[in-house]
Amino acid sequence: DQQVKQNSPSLSVQEGRISILNCDYTNSMFDYFLWYKKYPAEGPTFLISISSIKDKNEDGRFTVFLNKSAKHLSLHIVPSQPGDSAVYFCAASANGSARQLTFGSGTQLTVLP
Amino acid sequence: DTAVSQTPKYLVTQMGNDKSIKCEQNLGHDTMYWYKQDSKKFLKIMFSYNNKELIINETVPNRFSPKSPDKAHLNLHINSLELGDSAVYFCASSFLQGGYGYTFGSGTRLTVV
């Protein structure tokens, strides 16, 4: 039962362009969403998050958009840089879940110089 | 300074053996987690401890037993290892109240042969 889905296993983008990573969820109890970034042989690192009371959160080059009616969120990276090449995981949590995060399967982003 | 450290990083062992993975965090977090990244790359929660108390125990074979001697340590013991236990295991920590950003360890790649 995949409650968080990242349907694109990989994405290639030219340096300087926008990267858009997508995530869909099925559990309507989710009220907090996060993106994590993972380099090979390292653990995931927290990137950006958004509460369900918002539809947008921005942090530097990273912006997360949330469309609750569509149960969809996306991460925009502008401009993309080669150092952004990594696996990006979408994660979600439901209130009262003891901070349990449900993760998607990740999207490998490759930024081409 | 490593915030969340796991040992060993790699573990190769034969079926039927018993092994342990150790995890320590120096962030002062009150909650620690074990996640398993399976062959399909999903990160799935196994256990969570808050101040040494078990708060999340997902459907995991009872061959897996977590132990938390104090809130800075959460170890994972696995008995009678099976081929299907091969995966990457990640430890993480966070504050139960407040932000949802986990800090992950770099993972332990377990290979059962």
Q: Specify the CATH number of the domain B4-112.
A: 2.60.40.10
Of the two residues A40 and A99, the one the predictor is more confident about is: A40
Query: Is the pLDDT at A49 greater than 80, yes or no?
Result: yes
Chain B partners of A52 at a C-beta cutoff of 8 Å? none
Q: Where are the domains of chain A?
A: 4-112
With 0-12 / 13-18 / 19 or more C-beta atoms within 10 angstroms meaning exposed / middle / buried, residue A112 is exposed
Out of B44, B96, B107, whose CB is closest to A43? B107
- State the pLDDT at residue A78: 97
Q: Which of A87, A99, A105 lies at the smallest CB-CB distance from B42?
A: A105
| pLDDT, position A96 | 59
- Comparing CB atoms, the residue among A41, A101, A102 nearest residue B102 is A101
**Among the listed residues B112, B66, B111, the one whose alpha carbon sits nearest the alpha carbon of residue B91:** B66
CATH class of A4-112: mainly beta
The nearest alpha carbon in chain A to B41 belongs to: A105
CA nearest A20: which of A95, A72, A83?
A72
Q: Is there a contact between A34 and B48 if contact means CB atoms under 8 Å apart? A: no
pLDDT attached to residue B51: 83
pLDDT value of residue B84: 92
Closest CA to A109 of A18, A5, A2, A4: A18
Which chain A positions have a beta carbon within 8 Å of B92's beta carbon? 43
pLDDT of res. B68: 92
Average pLDDT, chain A: 93
Reply yes or no on whether the pLDDT at A98 is more than 70: no
Cβ-contact B11, B107 below 8 angstroms: no
A11-47 pLDDT tens trace: 999 999 999 999 999 999 999 999 999 999 899 999 9
Weakly modelled stretches of chain B, pLDDT under 70:
1, 98-100
Nearest Cα neighbor of B40 from A23, A105, A7 is A105
CB A21 within 8 A of CB A48: no
